[in-house]
Structure 1
Amino acid sequence: MTPRTNALTPDFRDTSYWLDGLPPPPAFPDQIPDEVDVAIVGSGYTGLNAAIETAKGGAATLVLDAGEPGWGCSTRNGGQISTSVKPSLAKLSMRFGAERARAIRREGETALEWIETFTKEEGIECDFSRCGRFHAAHTPAKYEELARDAETMRKAEGIESFAVSRADQRRELGTNVYHGGVVFTRHASLNPAKYHRGLLARALALGVQVVGRCTVTRIARDSRGFVLATAKGPVRAREVIVATNGYTTNLTPWLRRRVIPIGSYIIATEPLPRDLVAGLFPTNRIASDSCKVVYYYRASPDGTRVLFGGRVSASETDVSLSGPKLHADMVRIFPELSGYRATHSWMGLVAYTFDELAHTGTHEGVRYAMGYCGSGVSMASYLGMRLGQKTMGLEAGRTAFDDLPNPTRPLYTGNPWFLPATVAWYRWRDRIEYQRAAA
């Protein structure tokens, strides 16, 4: 389908829909202290959750960000929360043994349980909902595979789900494009910008100093700890945490070689009739599909818009170009939306890893957690929290992800030169599979 030239409203915004209606952020200091106990690079979910824990432990904590706090993917994602661990139990067992594999898989469930409890206990108003996810099959063969895998996970891991045939699909999702799917009943959603703003407020209330527009250019280690060179002067720290995920730079070359930044693009439609949205999402679940280049979408928390995300080009592109392409894909799935345009088109960088696992550990004394593979809302928060606990020397901070082998590839330095060809291949394969299934 050729993207419509009028798919975007004339005054569309290239900023995240989630930021609309939020009050202005608090004022941040323009200066940094000379010395702190803990310096954290990155003010997203990982960094702020780590900061909350170190501040609770009595450590003087400073969070630094190259942009305004929250400018990255923590306010630009789709607000969908899964159990976060992509490799199956069988695959992980082959690599790490059955016991470690089960522990890694359980961390995904633990992270989801934890973020629900945390937001409730901290009083963070972020529209958290255990709505469940409909994971749609783009071919009949994929439906059979999804149903088998779901049954295996129910029996082996206790993961709640049920299969939905194509005949019953409209009870879950208002489209005829897919060939059934699986509902994961425990998956959840939230408003990512409200959640981030709540984390920021909690950190500031605990005395964390947060400074934006303060790029860190160097981390040097000495006998007393670390000295960070920043755009606003040097700061000494006993401990350093790097929490940059998809925005990791040559500040930490070793980490940059181990994450693959990938742009994820999203649009938000103009306000829609509520009965239309309710017909497309009759159970108000979040949704995704089984394509290799996955689409993910949902109704807005107030039930007035559709938010539709995915990757629509082989290489990174401008959101004014990605928006019409996403709109065309959205209309292919939901033809009822063909008469409505998008008011927002934006993107954010997620970070994949070569083994499809999140990683946390210490390298040359610098602590880190990153590489959430597109499932970072709960896992970034959870591993950030645990990282803060570890920094304070607490045994509770240990996780099944600690010190897993963290692979890279020869000649890879952080620029994913291979990504355009890989995405183009997978998009072509998805398209062919769609066409064969529809024939």
Structure 2
Amino acid sequence: MADKIRPDIKQTPYWQDTLGPMPQLATALPRAADVVIIGSGYTGLNAARITAAAGRSTLVLDAGDAGFGCSTRNGGQISTSVKPTLAELTAKFGAQTARAIREEGKRALDWLGSVVEGEGFDCDFRRSGRFHAAHSPAQYETLVRDAALMSREEGIPSFAVPRAEQRRELGTDAYFGGVVFSDHCSVNPARLHRAFLNSVLALGVDVLPHCAALGIEKTGQGFRVRTEKGVVEARDVVVATNGYTGAVSPWLRRRVIPIGSYVIATEELPVSLVDELFPTDRIASDTCKVLYYYRASPDRRRILFGGRVSARETDTAQSGPLLYHNMIRIFPQLEGRAITHSWSGKVAYSFDDLAHTGTHDGVHYALGYCGSGVSMASYLGMRVGQKVLGLAEGQTAFDGLPHGSQPFYNGTPWFLPAAVAYYRWQDRREYRRALEAS
């Protein structure tokens, strides 16, 4: 397997190869701004788009390059974002709140599509649909039943694909059928981020990379944000750090679980092979608790394959071979094809599998997208910007939800290795039994 990992493999996202040079960004920290946003991913930039368009001087800070985090490192798959089912949310919050939360997921996807298409963003946005594959016959039955319920009660379009017809959607026999969710979309995530970045720069926003925020202090007039490059005064502060939330906000750090997600890209492949593996050009994922997700690149010359590869976090030199092994298990046709990129990014889970937005000690925030953040992070960033302006439309169904933590948790997920190992064992046992019975 090692000979399939090129010695010159890039430990950077494949998406970066599709970008031009970074636009000119700020280099100096201003003394003050109306709004200081910590984090330059989808959330932060969309908050900045709103505040700057309203005439508020806006500064966006980032500890690394602009968009260094998962906004430019994800798999480019866009769903309706809300993981708990309507029934699960109803049991917890009641029918009205549950339905409102689920509606926000659809609204986020629709909003993102309208922005991309309305503003002419060049980011390979496609309403491709998703094939969600079942890793056992029992999972297929559950998936079909749940999809029918969502279609009937929530208007989410889908259709079932039995195993006998699976290859019309995905070139593999490794699964036991699946469901196509027609509204899900694909995108080049780095080009989407670049489009948002260019739009805020055109509005006069200062984006200052390599300037980590170190602390936030309330003052009589607003806030004082301490950074690596000095102190900036602000009327309003937004924390938009998601999987990279650190000590700048200990309260938020205790409420999100950073989890590494790992991705590889193959070398360029024959068009006929890509057509065999992804005949409908849909994005794809599976029903494993420790899931894999994959797709063809927008130019349909490579396969991008991602997921969680080990119980503990690892580096991309180790994750590449592990992902390769699972890729050829699902797609034996790719055996012998080299991989050219191996990278990772941190997503952020919450303890209730929901995104959260609101204010704490006067500081606005949105984070915890649970691995489905392309549309939701962008959408909630926009809503946070509206909240900063005091607009009623900034309120969402996520506002006011309990945002809890766990005892003894301080932002380091000590429990994650055991949980991942257990879920992976469950997945393998169920899959092995399904193969033996088939």
Q: For 2:117 and 2:147, how far apart are their aligned partners in 1?
A: 29
- Structure 2 letter corresponding to 1:408: S
**Structure 1 residues not aligned, in runs of 5+:** none
- Give 3-state SS (helix, strand or coil) of 1:234's partner: strand
Partner of 1:168: 165
Partner of 1:57: 54
Query: For this pair of structures, how many residues does the alignment match?
Result: 436
Residues 377-420 of structure 1, C-alpha deviations (whole Å, 9 max, x = no match):
00000000010011111111111111210011000000000000
Picking from 35, 54, 61, the partner of 2:32 is 35
Q: Mean Cα displacement is larger for which, 297-306 or 420-429?
A: 420-429
- Give 3-state SS (helix, strand or coil) of 1:6's partner: helix
Q: For 1:208 and 1:9, how far apart are their aligned partners in 2?
A: 40
- 1:277-356 residue pairs with structure 2 within 5 A? 277-356=274-353
How far is 1:99 from its partner? 0.6
Picking from 390, 396, 399, the partner of 2:387 is 390
How far is 1:27 from its partner? 2.1
- Give 3-state SS (helix, strand or coil) of 1:409's partner: coil
Partner of 1:73: 70
- Structure 1 letter corresponding to 2:177: G
- Give 3-state SS (helix, strand or coil) of 2:341's partner: strand
Q: Which runs of 4+ in 1 moved over 6 A?
A: none
Q: For 1:434 and 1:90, how far apart are their aligned partners in 2?
A: 27
- Give 3-state SS (helix, strand or coil) of 1:69's partner: coil
Q: Mean Cα displacement is larger for which, 97-106 or 392-401?
A: 392-401
Residues 1-53 of structure 1, C-alpha deviations (whole Å, 9 max, x = no match):
xxx22231111000000000311101222211111100000000000000000
Q: For 2:211 and 2:276, how far apart are their aligned partners in 1?
A: 46
- 1:73-152 residue pairs with structure 2 within 5 A? 73-152=70-149
Picking from 261, 264, 267, the partner of 2:261 is 264
- Structure 2 letter corresponding to 1:40: I
- Structure 2 letter corresponding to 1:349: K
Q: For 2:138 and 2:200, how far apart are their aligned partners in 1?
A: 48
Q: For 1:188 and 1:151, how far apart are their aligned partners in 2?
A: 20
Partner of 1:409: 406
- Give 3-state SS (helix, strand or coil) of 1:63's partner: strand
- Structure 1 letter corresponding to 2:10: R
- Does structure 2 conserve the Cα–Cα contact (< 8 Å) formed by 1:86 and 1:357? yes
Q: For 2:257 and 2:190, how far apart are their aligned partners in 1?
A: 24
TM, length-normalised to structure 1? 0.99
Q: For 1:341 and 1:369, how far apart are their aligned partners in 2?
A: 39
- 1:213-252 residue pairs with structure 2 within 5 A? 213-252=210-249
Sequence identity percentage:
63
Q: Mean Cα displacement is larger for which, 387-396 or 181-190?
A: 387-396
Q: Does 1:180 align with 2:177?
A: yes
- Does structure 2 conserve the Cα–Cα contact (< 8 Å) formed by 1:227 and 1:234? yes
- Does structure 2 conserve the Cα–Cα contact (< 8 Å) formed by 1:38 and 1:238? yes
Q: Does 1:274 align with 2:299?
A: no
Q: For 2:18 and 2:197, how far apart are their aligned partners in 1?
A: 17
Q: For 1:356 and 1:256, how far apart are their aligned partners in 2?
A: 16
Q: For 1:65 and 1:7, how far apart are their aligned partners in 2?
A: 35
- Structure 2 letter corresponding to 1:363: H
- Give 3-state SS (helix, strand or coil) of 2:420's partner: helix
- Give 3-state SS (helix, strand or coil) of 2:2's partner: coil
Q: For 1:182 and 1:206, how far apart are their aligned partners in 2?
A: 42
Q: For 2:263 and 2:301, how far apart are their aligned partners in 1?
A: 16
Residues 106-153 of structure 1, C-alpha deviations (whole Å, 9 max, x = no match):
000000000000011222110000000000000000000000000100
- Structure 2 letter corresponding to 1:135: H
- Does structure 2 conserve the Cα–Cα contact (< 8 Å) formed by 1:7 and 1:323? no
Q: Does 1:432 align with 2:421?
A: no
Q: For 1:228 and 1:403, how far apart are their aligned partners in 2?
A: 26
- Give 3-state SS (helix, strand or coil) of 1:261's partner: strand
- Does structure 2 conserve the Cα–Cα contact (< 8 Å) formed by 1:51 and 1:208? yes
Q: For 1:27 and 1:56, how far apart are their aligned partners in 2?
A: 20
- Structure 1 letter corresponding to 2:285: S
Picking from 2, 5, 8, the partner of 1:5 is 2
- Does structure 2 conserve the Cα–Cα contact (< 8 Å) formed by 1:67 and 1:214? yes
Q: For 1:246 and 1:7, how far apart are their aligned partners in 2?
A: 31
Q: For 1:259 and 1:310, how far apart are their aligned partners in 2?
A: 19
Partner of 2:208: 211
Partner of 2:418: 421
